[in-house]
């Protein structure tokens, strides 16, 4: 197996404390970064070709370079630990086993963009993880890794853990910033983007936990080394895959970007489908990713190949569904989630998600009509790309893909007047 | 100046301007619910969708900064479909109760439904419903009609100055309401009904009184204080039904306060004296004809006459009174009066940071401009002529200064004329045209909206009878 970066301490119960982390090259990357100029740090991260690990896959170095050099108001770095995309559980493991890896990455990032304060916005349900982070922050302050004049570099930095209240929409970066500021968790109008006007009006970078946890390794071993790990030239490093559902060995798997296909992951690494059953579908990037049918598995697991296949790698939350599950039931449940989590700000998402859910509910209950399928596709089309933030797209994409790829199952429900598997 | 192209025409814009602003300035109509020029841009309703060349997604014109060379289409096929879809989404949970809704006829949602929506609905699921809380004496809420544009929330935050309205819950269940369900405290609550693009927020006072399309609108100026907010007087058949603010960026922007909004109430009030009234032989006040009343007044306005001129009168009326006093009264002393404690223009202060002024009459500054001094209760007189437009304080007892008859000319309430010998009914601001001067020194025109109520006559007519 290739070299592990973020999962190297996973399931090691001794790994979280600072002592252990420092014995294993911990904070060496930061030491190196603090001796460099901030611009050089950004250049190194750019060289690494790392794409954001949160879901959108935006190049991290480029994002950092959007922060204005001079700013009259304070700049901020925010770690998005509001991991709430269904099927995604990688950030939780990083925070549990390697809290310092993420903290180190945050300090490096803050140094690069010139932020004196950073926040970890963690979802409310992650109580234990928040506690682990508080302990880790206390250790870091005590060791002089946070606070005034870090490691004698002259760089001051403070870091805070901020617990959310468990709304999915607060994982959207501007919704997160509103929530962080104590406002209603609703996405903001863009532009201005957070890099220009983010938290408390200051230029702000919002990065995912895994993204930041990769930064120490990039600093320590160089951006070029990191870039070379990926199979494709524009996507460096490794990715954590959260495999859940009907496989024999669900769990977290770290592989270099693009180095394995979805089929290899499911059959070679995860031991195939549970109880020898047949695969029906795979949702490859958290529940908002359009579904893939059983024959669509020969896709390299990286951002671009997945987009080319009509889905998205998203947060790498791979949900495997076997043939005992009804496709209508699955998409009904997914749509319920998005309807429930819609913030209600913009019209298409507020009204459309609930409408799709109601129609799906009707079909699943056997009260569907022939015209409902076109209706669903049209509602999804009217939401997709027309909402204020990406939640609308996240709700519409799965519906469209399920209706298209499992049309026969919908039709069976409508014709038979009930769910065939009920 | 940089230029962009909207629907094939080139327009200049200043950097930072949004596409919707450029379009508005040039008469290109882009439909909108949540956007209001006075309020923060939230891009929530998605109705102002436009298509921009070289941009993959539909953009919202309210939140899209115009760019050099940007090519915008406001009526492309994609735009028309998007608007239709927003209309459909907006209406699936709307009760479609236009026939019993006060907003009908002046409802943005209704107008856009005609212009951009479909004639029927594909929606077959349950419509969501809410139970409404009392929002206080000014505004009646109907949450079922709400389309979540949040203009009301932003108005309270950004114009009213304090957060009184909020969105509760989330997603499809989002409810717009007041903080903790308390009644509204703002003195500008009526504006919420104006900016609400649906019948979700309506005026308690105006509800079920009149269909909007029956109302004639007359451009006028509010007489509630010295701000001089621009209004449309809405009336039908001699009855005033409401004031609506009229945009004037120098004076009141889009707003009026509630006091000004409801200041028309006395115009058609039963308590208003609208017939010439004199004290009869049995010492009681009774109606009479104009000739008798004026003759009576003329006979009693003798000796040293105190002439009190309400600062709620127009410049034209004040000048007429000055000329009349000079010509017809041998020994007259002229003063203006209006608001307690306001004898000079400099006594007039801002009452809040928005519009309201402490002078509760509209023309205090005009009166001073004509050389009139404020009445401070000084001197002894044989008789008094009190002119009043309808807003000035009611002078009920002048016995300290006046030994003889009190004669009222103008708008009086029956309850406040016990000490008067003669009352000649005059015109309110809705029944006459004229000029008033606001605190900034700006002269503005009142326009006659309705015919004089009852036997009421203007001062010029009264003076014509006098000689």
pLDDT tens-digit readout, B438-451 = 999 999 999 999 99
**Residue A96: enclosing H or E segment and its boundaries?**
helix A90-97
Tens of pLDDT, residues B41-99: 999 999 999 999 999 999 999 999 999 999 999 999 999 999 999 999 999 999 999 99
The answer to whether A318 and A283 have CB atoms below 8 angstroms apart is: yes
Tens of pLDDT, residues A31-70: 999 999 999 999 999 999 999 999 899 999 999 999 999 9
A226: three-class secondary structure by DSSP: helix
Q: Across the interface, which of A167, A350, A353 has its CB nearest the CB of B174?
A: A350
CB pairs under 8 A between A and B: 94
Residue of B nearest to A385 (CA): B57
Choose among A145, A157, A175: nearest CA to A28.
Answer: A145
The answer to whether B303 and B404 have CB atoms below 8 angstroms apart is: yes
> How many angstroms separate the CA atoms of B176 and B141, rounded?
9
The strand order across the sheet containing B3-6 reads: B9-12, B3-6, B71-73, B49-52, B59-60
> How many angstroms separate the CA atoms of B75 and B55, rounded?
16
As a whole-number percent, the residues of chain A with pLDDT over 90 amount to 97
Choose among A41, A212, A220: nearest CA to A113.
Answer: A41
Pairing verdict, β A317-322 and A238-245: parallel
Here the tokens at position A356 are 């799709």
Choose among B170, B151, B187: nearest CA to B38.
Answer: B151
The answer to whether B111 and B90 have CB atoms below 8 angstroms apart is: no
Nearest 5°: phi and psi at A164? -80, -175
> How distant, in Å, are the alpha carbons of A237, A299, A301, B56 from that of A308?
20, 9, 11, 17
| Residues of chain B below pLDDT 70 | none
Nearest 5°: phi and psi at A239? -130, 150
What local confidence, expressed as pLDDT, does residue B133 receive? 84
B443: three-class secondary structure by DSSP: strand
Q: Characterise A227 by phi-psi region: left (phi > 0), alpha (psi -120 to 50), beta (else).
A: alpha
> How distant, in Å, are the alpha carbons of A106, A219, A328 from that of A205?
10, 18, 39
Contact B173 A387 (CB under 8 A): no
The answer to whether the bond into A191 is cis (omega within 30° of 0) is: yes
> How many angstroms separate the CA atoms of A125 and A106, rounded?
22
Chain A residues inside the 8 Å CB shell of B56: 385
**Average model confidence (pLDDT) for chain B?**
96
As a whole-number percent, the residues of chain B with pLDDT over 90 amount to 96
The answer to whether B11 and B22 have CB atoms below 8 angstroms apart is: yes
Residue of A nearest to B42 (CA): A189
Chain A residues inside the 8 Å CB shell of B167: 184, 344
* The length of chain A, given as a count of residues: 422
Residue of B nearest to A339 (CA): B171
A129: three-class secondary structure by DSSP: helix
Where does the pLDDT of residue A2 fall: very low under 50, low under 70, confident under 90, or very high at 90 and above? low
Q: Across the interface, which of A189, A191, A352 has its CB nearest the CB of B89?
A: A352
Residue of A nearest to B93 (CA): A351
Tens of pLDDT, residues B391-417: 999 998 798 999 999 999 999 999 999
A74: three-class secondary structure by DSSP: coil
Tens of pLDDT, residues A320-374: 999 999 999 999 999 999 999 999 999 999 999 999 999 999 999 999 999 999 9
Chain B residues inside the 8 Å CB shell of A340: 170-171
> How distant, in Å, are the alpha carbons of B82, B138, B174, B197, B309 from that of B171?
20, 28, 5, 20, 59
Q: Which residues of B83-110 are buried (b: 16+ CB within 10 A; e: fewer)?
A: bebbbbbbbbbbeeebeebbbbeebbbb
> How many angstroms separate the CA atoms of A386 and A363, rounded?
26
Choose among A381, A208, A397: nearest CA to A289.
Answer: A397
Here the tokens at position B323 are 């000329």
A1 pLDDT more than 90:
no
Measured in angstroms, the CA of B440 and the nearest CA of chain A are apart by 36
Contact B171 A350 (CB under 8 A): yes
- Interface probe with B: pick from A345, A364, A382, A396, most Cβ of B within 10 Å: A345
Nearest 5°: phi and psi at B397? -140, 110
What local confidence, expressed as pLDDT, does residue A80 receive? 97
Here the tokens at position A419 are 């769910």
Considering Cα of A136, then A142, then A143, then A147, what sign does the dihedral take?
Answer: positive
What distance lies between CA B67 and its chain's CA centroid? 38
> How many angstroms separate the CA atoms of B9 and B18, rounded?
16
Contact A388 B43 (CB under 8 A): yes
> How many angstroms separate the CA atoms of A418 and A414, rounded?
7
**Residue A335: enclosing H or E segment and its boundaries?**
helix A327-341
What local confidence, expressed as pLDDT, does residue A421 receive? 83
The strand order across the sheet containing B216-221 reads: B216-221, B230-236, B239-245
Q: Characterise B206 by phi-psi region: left (phi > 0), alpha (psi -120 to 50), beta (else).
A: alpha
DSSP designation for B244: E
Q: Helices marked H in B93-185 — which ranges?
A: 108-116, 151-154
> How many angstroms separate the CA atoms of B76 and B49, rounded?
10
Here the tokens at position A71 are 């700013």
> How many angstroms separate the CA atoms of B113 and A69, rounded?
48
Which 94-153 residues of chain B touch chain A by CB within 8 A?
122-123, 125-126, 147-148, 150
The answer to whether A134 and A161 have CB atoms below 8 angstroms apart is: yes
Contact A347 B63 (CB under 8 A): no
Chain B residues inside the 8 Å CB shell of A342: 170-172
Measured in angstroms, the CA of A160 and the nearest CA of chain B are apart by 27
Chain B residues inside the 8 Å CB shell of A191: 63, 65
* The length of chain B, given as a count of residues: 467
Tens of pLDDT, residues A199-256: 999 999 999 999 999 999 999 999 999 999 999 999 999 999 999 999 999 999 999 9
* Residue with tokens 């294993």, as numbered in its chain: A24
> How many angstroms separate the CA atoms of A45 and A39, rounded?
10
* Residue with tokens 């301490």, as numbered in its chain: A9
Query: How many helices (H) and strands (E) are present in chain B, helices listed first?
Result: 10, 22
Contact B89 A386 (CB under 8 A): no
**pTM of the prediction?**
0.93
Measured in angstroms, the CA of B238 and the nearest CA of chain A are apart by 43
B176: three-class secondary structure by DSSP: strand
Find the angle CA(B458)-CA(B464)-CA(B467) to the nearest 5 degrees. 140
What local confidence, expressed as pLDDT, does residue A3 receive? 79
Find the angle CA(B241)-CA(B242)-CA(B243) to the nearest 5 degrees. 150
Choose among B349, B96, B76, B102: nearest CA to B206.
Answer: B102
Here the tokens at position A134 are 């508080």
Q: Across the interface, which of A340, A344, A382 has its CB nearest the CB of B148?
A: A344
- How far does chain A reach from its first CA to its final CA, in angstroms? 43
What local confidence, expressed as pLDDT, does residue B180 receive? 92
Measured in angstroms, the CA of A360 and the nearest CA of chain B are apart by 11
Q: Is B39 on the interface with A (CB under 8 A)?
A: no
Pairing verdict, β B443-446 and B216-221: unpaired
Contact A353 B172 (CB under 8 A): yes
Considering Cα of A67, then A69, then A75, then A81, what sign does the dihedral take?
Answer: positive
What distance lies between CA A305 and its chain's CA centroid? 18
Contact B43 A346 (CB under 8 A): yes
Pairing verdict, β A317-322 and A279-283: antiparallel
């Amino acid at each position: 197996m290739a070299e592990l970066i973020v999962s190297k301490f996973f399931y090691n119960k001794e790994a979280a404390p600072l002592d252990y982390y420092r014995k294993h090259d911990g904070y060496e990357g930061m030491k190196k970064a603090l001796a460099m100029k901030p611009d050089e740090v950004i250049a190194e991260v750019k060289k690494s070709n790392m794409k954001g690990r949160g879901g959108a896959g935006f190049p991290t170095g480029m994002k950092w370079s959007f922060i204005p050099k001079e700013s009259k108001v304070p700049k901020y770095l925010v770690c998005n630990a509001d991991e709430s995309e269904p099927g995604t559980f990688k950030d939780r493991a990083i925070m549990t086993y390697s809290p310092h890896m993420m903290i180190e990455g945050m300090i490096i990032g803050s140094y690069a963009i010139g932020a004196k304060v950073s926040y970890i916005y963690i979802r409310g349900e992650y109580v234990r993880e928040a506690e682990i982070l508080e302990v880790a922050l206390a250790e870091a302050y005590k060791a002089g890794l946070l606070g005034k004049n870090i490691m004698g570099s002259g760089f001051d930095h403070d870091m805070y853990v901020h617990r959310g209240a468990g709304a999915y929409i607060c994982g959207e970066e501007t919704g997160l910033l509103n929530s962080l500021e104590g406002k209603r968790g609703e996405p903001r109008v863009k532009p201005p983007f957070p890099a220009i006007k983010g938290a408390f009006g200051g230029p702000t970078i919002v990065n995912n936990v895994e993204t930041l946890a990769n930064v120490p390794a990039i600093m320590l071993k160089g951006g070029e080394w990191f870039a070379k790990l990926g199979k494709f030239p524009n996507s460096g490093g490794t990715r954590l895959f959260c495999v859940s559902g009907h496989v024999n060995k669900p769990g977290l798997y770290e592989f270099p970007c693009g180095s394995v296909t979805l089929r290899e992951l499911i059959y070679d690494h995860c031991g195939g489908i549970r109880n020898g059953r047949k695969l029906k579908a795979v949702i490859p990037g958290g529940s908002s990713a359009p579904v893939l049918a059983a024959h669509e598995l020969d896709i390299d697991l990286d951002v671009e190949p997945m987009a080319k296949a009509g889905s998205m790698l998203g947060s790498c939350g791979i949900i495997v569904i076997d043939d005992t599950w009804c496709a209508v039931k699955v998409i009904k449940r997914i749509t319920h989630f998005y309807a429930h989590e819609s913030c209600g700000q913009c019209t298409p998402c507020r009204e459309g998600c609930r409408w799709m859910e109601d129609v799906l509910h009707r079909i699943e209950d056997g009260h569907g009509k022939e015209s409902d399928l076109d209706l669903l596709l049209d509602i999804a089309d009217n939401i997709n790309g027309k909402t204020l933030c990406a939640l609308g797209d996240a709700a519409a994409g799965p519906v469209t893909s399920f209706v298209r790829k499992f049309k026969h199952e919908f039709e069976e429900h409508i014709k038979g007047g009930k769910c065939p598997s009920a | 100046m940089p230029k962009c192209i909207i629907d094939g025409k080139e327009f200049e814009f200043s950097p930072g301007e949004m596409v919707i602003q450029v379009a508005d300035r040039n008469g290109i109509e882009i439909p909108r619910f949540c956007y209001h020029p006075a309020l923060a841009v939230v891009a929530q309703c998605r109705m102002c969708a436009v298509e921009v060349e070289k941009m993959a997604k539909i953009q919202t014109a309210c939140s899209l900064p115009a760019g050099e060379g940007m090519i915008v289409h406001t009526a492309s096929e994609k735009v028309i479909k998007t608007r239709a879809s927003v209309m459909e989404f907006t209406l699936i949970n709307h009760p479609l109760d236009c026939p019993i809704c006060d907003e009908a006829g002046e409802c943005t949602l209704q107008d856009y439904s005609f212009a951009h929506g479909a004639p029927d609905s594909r929606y077959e699921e349950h419509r969501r419903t809410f139970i409404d809380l009392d929002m206080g004496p000014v505004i009646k809420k109907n949450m079922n009609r709400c389309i979540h544009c949040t203009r009301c929330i932003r108005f309270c935050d950004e114009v009213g100055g304090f957060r009184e309205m909020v969105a509760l819950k989330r997603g499809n269940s989002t409810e717009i309401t007041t903080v903790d369900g308390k009644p509204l405290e703002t003195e500008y609550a009526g504006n919420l009904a104006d900016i609400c693009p649906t019948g979700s927020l309506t005026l308690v006072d105006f509800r079920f009184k009149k269909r909007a399309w029956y109302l004639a609108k007359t451009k006028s100026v509010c007489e509630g204080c010295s701000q001089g907010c621009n209004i449309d007087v809405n009336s039908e058949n001699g009855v005033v039904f409401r004031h609506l603010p009229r945009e004037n960026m120098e004076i009141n922007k889009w707003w009026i306060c509630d006091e000004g909004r409801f200041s028309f109430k006395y115009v058609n009030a039963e308590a208003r004296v609208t017939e010439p009234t004199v004290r009869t032989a049995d010492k009681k006040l009774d109606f009479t004809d104009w000739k008798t009343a004026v003759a009576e007044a003329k006979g009693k306005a003798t000796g040293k006459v105190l002439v009190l001129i309400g600062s709620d009168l127009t410049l034209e009326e004040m000048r007429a009174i000055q000329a009349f006093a000079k010509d017809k009264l041998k020994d007259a002393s002229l003063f203006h009066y209006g608001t307690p404690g306001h004898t000079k223009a400099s006594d007039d202060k801002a009452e809040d940071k928005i519009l309201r002024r402490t002078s509760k009459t509209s023309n205090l500054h005009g009166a001073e401009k004509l050389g009139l001094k404020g009445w401070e209760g000084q001197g002894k007189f044989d008789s008094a002529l009190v002119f009043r437009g309808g807003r000035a304080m009611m002078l009920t007892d002048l016995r300290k200064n006046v030994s003889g008859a009190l004669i009222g000319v103008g708008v009086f309430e029956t309850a406040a004329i016990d000490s008067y010998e003669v009352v000649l009914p005059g015109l309110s601001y809705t029944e006459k045209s004229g000029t008033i001067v606001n605190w900034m020194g700006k002269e503005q025109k009142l326009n006659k909206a309705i015919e004089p109520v009852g036997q009421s006559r203007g001062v010029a007519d009264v003076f014509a009878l006098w000689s």
